[in-house]
């Protein structure tokens, strides 16, 4: 039942992620432009250049803040990562139990107790 729940959450998160690939790409471009305008603002020497780069940066930053679907896509990507980790968690625990020498000892000890 746990695997089925993880599968359902994973499928839904995958669909949300795929539907928000475009806004996530636009968010990446906007963040790059904002970073570039900030760097150019710091390097600018004239007042006009500083005003120009600040205006460009603030205009693009407004677009970054209003890009809510991209944030949903980022949350869906994180959710897929968590589902993937939980899905493989059971396999790791089972492998550790098999390799643990004390597990076999305790099984044999329980069998000896049952016999006597």
Residue 112 falls inside a structural domain: no
User: pTM here?
Assistant: 0.64
* pLDDT of residue 2 exceeding 60: yes
Domain count for the chain: 1
Over range 104-114, report the average pLDDT: 76
Residue 116 falls inside a structural domain: no
- Token duo for residue 113: 């107790």
Length of the chain: 116
Tens of pLDDT along 33-56? 999 999 999 999 999 999 999 999
Q: What are phi and psi of 66, to 5 degrees?
A: -85, 5
Structural domain range at position 45: 2-87
Element (H, E) at 11: helix 2-19
């Amino acid at each position: 039942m746990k695997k089925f729940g993880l599968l359902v959450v994973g499928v839904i998160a995958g669909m949300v992620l795929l539907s928000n690939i475009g806004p996530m790409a636009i968010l990446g471009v906007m963040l790059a432009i904002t970073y570039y305008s900030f760097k150019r603002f710091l390097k600018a020497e004239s007042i006009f250049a500083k005003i120009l780069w600040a205006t460009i940066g603030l205009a693009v930053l407004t677009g970054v803040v209003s890009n809510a679907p991209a944030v949903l896509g980022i949350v869906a990507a994180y959710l897929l990562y968590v589902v993937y980790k939980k899905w493989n968690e059971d396999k790791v625990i089972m492998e550790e139990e098999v390799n643990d020498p004390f597990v076999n000892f305790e099984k044999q000890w329980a069998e000896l107790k049952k016999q006597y």
